Structure 1
Amino acid sequence: MTLPFLIQPFIEYGFMRRALVACLALSLSTTTLGVFLFLRRMSLMGDALSHAILPGVATGYLLSGMSLLAMGTGGFIAGILVALVAGWVSRRTPLKEDASFAGFYLGSLALGVTLVSLRGSSVDLLHLLFGSILAVDRQSLTFVAAVATLTLLCLAVCYRGLVSEVFDSTWLEVNKRRLPTLFHTLFLGLLVLNLVAGFQVLGTLMVVGMMMLPAVAARCWMHTLPGMILLAGIVGVLCSWFGLSISWRVALPAGPSIVLCASVFFLFSILFGGRSRLAVVLLRPFFGKER
């Protein structure tokens, strides 16, 4: 029963195969970015930027309807602008970067919803917020695959620089003054690009779950950065596969089902992961101290 449950819908239906391929591509690129976000202590930035792209996506929708090019371009421009403006405000005012992002992303979310409501329906708004993974066409699939490929190539080429910025940014600033800004800008660009690709599949609200939950869960098990990246990617792939299979069998929304699978693994990891072992702490009063 288990094997047919996991493979039957992807054998019989083309739209399920396209959804699976899109999710697998996103899993490999977004989870890697999520690991670096987690290590930078910027986990909520992904959530902020996912809402920040909504006004640009909505503007593209108002101008050209459900055009992938128009909505993707608008979302990318909006996300980059919010990231740059929020960083500039944090440098020029007493506000920290997280507070600056919070203010801008809340306003962006409200603006995006308002823009969609000017012309669209509640169905269009739900499509932008929660995605329509089972309606992924060849054009969207090609775009997602291209973004994932570009992201992985850029991360592979700039891996040492990104790691240096995360763990020893002071040394990088002293010895190579312009590189930290270059790496930070590249990272933000890749982050926004993946969020734009992800909204086509999971929506602006759900794509952050695929990005951050496997990355945070991997930290509960792994001690090294390559191990975290590898495990996060594997978890993302498995959650995509299981989530789509469960949504097909039980008639649940596909995007939330994938994120719920990732949430289950996250909870399991914080309870039983080798680096967290929360279950041991909770059960210690009942079984006495560890020996």
Structure 2
Amino acid sequence: MTMLYDALILPFTEFAFMQRALGGALMLSLSACPVGVFLMLRRMSLTGDAMAHAILPGAAAGFLMYGLEIVPMTIGGLIAGIVVALGAGAVARLTVQKEDASLAAFYLISLSLGVLMVSLRGSSIDLMHVLFGTVLALNNDALSLIALVCAVTLVLLVLFWRALVAECMDPLFLRSVSRLGSPVHFIFLGLVVINLVAGFQALGTLLSVGLMVLPAASARFWSQHVSMICLLAIAIGFASSIAGLLLSYHASLPSGPAIILSAGAVYFVSVIASPRGLLFSRLPRSAHRTA
């Protein structure tokens, strides 16, 4: 029993940095995982990944001017995310290029530009911080930002829940019967951007989308109801955050990748062993063929 306590509980009770990391990761899971569910239902998961890369130049600009200060990097990331989203949308509407291709072009340019900007002034350690985050080094300012994003996200999800679900199922119908169609779409994109910026503080630009998408993709194998998928995604996010931080602590691994790999392990278990996964979904067919 003592060994179990030392392995699972002691790191979070003895070290303040582990407590801050756990608090930040749990708040990110609470806000980002439901947003990831709607990304998945809209078939926009790769769009979320592109937007996560797109915030890098803005964060890098804040870093170049003020160093690793949270407010300038956050504002820069928000501006860059909005610019890329609007630019990709404008190219898709005004030219023959599809939105996925224009978004891919914008995010590749943004990622390269951001890496170049950080490399001009910072060291390889600074670049790793921006790309992969430092969840074990979260300070009070970062936690306050994550808490604010979490609160805003939950309030907007409650207020626009029915409209968000309706737009996932049939956006044209929603726009024909309600004026909320277009506003809800932009509200949702705003939620994606602010959660990616909040996740950037802990997990970096390359991994922040992982906590948004992987728990949502895993939960989809266990339920067909949107509300239940969101709850399961949050639970998976919580479990992945705790497991990843413990793995990072005991095995001396980078904390951000450990959290995302923990979520990835749950995803592969869901793919294989869930009621809608490979194993059980093929059993009735095999039994039918045998009969």
Match of 2:265 in 1: 264
CA contact (8 A) 1:80 1:188 kept: no
Measured in 2, the distance between the counterparts of 1:25 and 1:150 equals 12
Alignment partner for residue 107 of structure 1, among 106, 109, 124? 109
Number of equivalent positions: 289
Secondary structure of 1:162's counterpart equals helix
Match of 1:254 in 2: 255
Alignment of 1:130-279 (within 5 A): 130-176=132-178, 178-278=179-279
TM-score, normalised on structure 2? 0.95
Letter of the 1:115 partner, please give it. M
Report the alpha carbon displacement of residue 168 of structure 1 after superposing the two structures with TM: 1.7
Report the alpha carbon displacement of residue 179 of structure 1 after superposing the two structures with TM: 2.2
Report the alpha carbon displacement of residue 4 of structure 1 after superposing the two structures with TM: 2.9
Match of 2:4 in 1: 2
CA contact (8 A) 1:27 1:211 kept: yes
Measured in 2, the distance between the counterparts of 1:227 and 1:238 equals 16
CA contact (8 A) 2:275 2:281 kept: no
Q: What are structure 2's unaligned runs of at least 5 residues?
A: none
TM-score, normalised on structure 1? 0.95
CA contact (8 A) 1:6 1:245 kept: yes
**After TM superposition, which residue ranges in structure 1, 4 or more long, deviate above 4 angstroms?**
278-282, 287-291
Secondary structure of 2:224's counterpart equals coil
Alignment of 1:21-36 (within 5 A): 21-36=23-38
Measured in 2, the distance between the counterparts of 1:239 and 1:118 equals 35
RMSD of aligned alpha carbons: 1.8
Measured in 2, the distance between the counterparts of 1:49 and 1:135 equals 24
Letter of the 1:245 partner, please give it. L
Q: Does 1:73 align with 2:55?
A: no
Q: What are structure 1's unaligned runs of at least 5 residues?
A: none
Report the alpha carbon displacement of residue 64 of structure 1 after superposing the two structures with TM: 1.1
CA-to-aligned-CA distance 1:218-274 (integer Å, 9 cap, x gap): 111101101100000000001101110111011111111111110000001011111
Q: Percent identity between the aligned chains?
A: 50
Measured in 2, the distance between the counterparts of 1:253 and 1:166 equals 36
Letter of the 1:271 partner, please give it. I
Report the alpha carbon displacement of residue 94 of structure 1 after superposing the two structures with TM: 2.4
Report the alpha carbon displacement of residue 96 of structure 1 after superposing the two structures with TM: 2.0
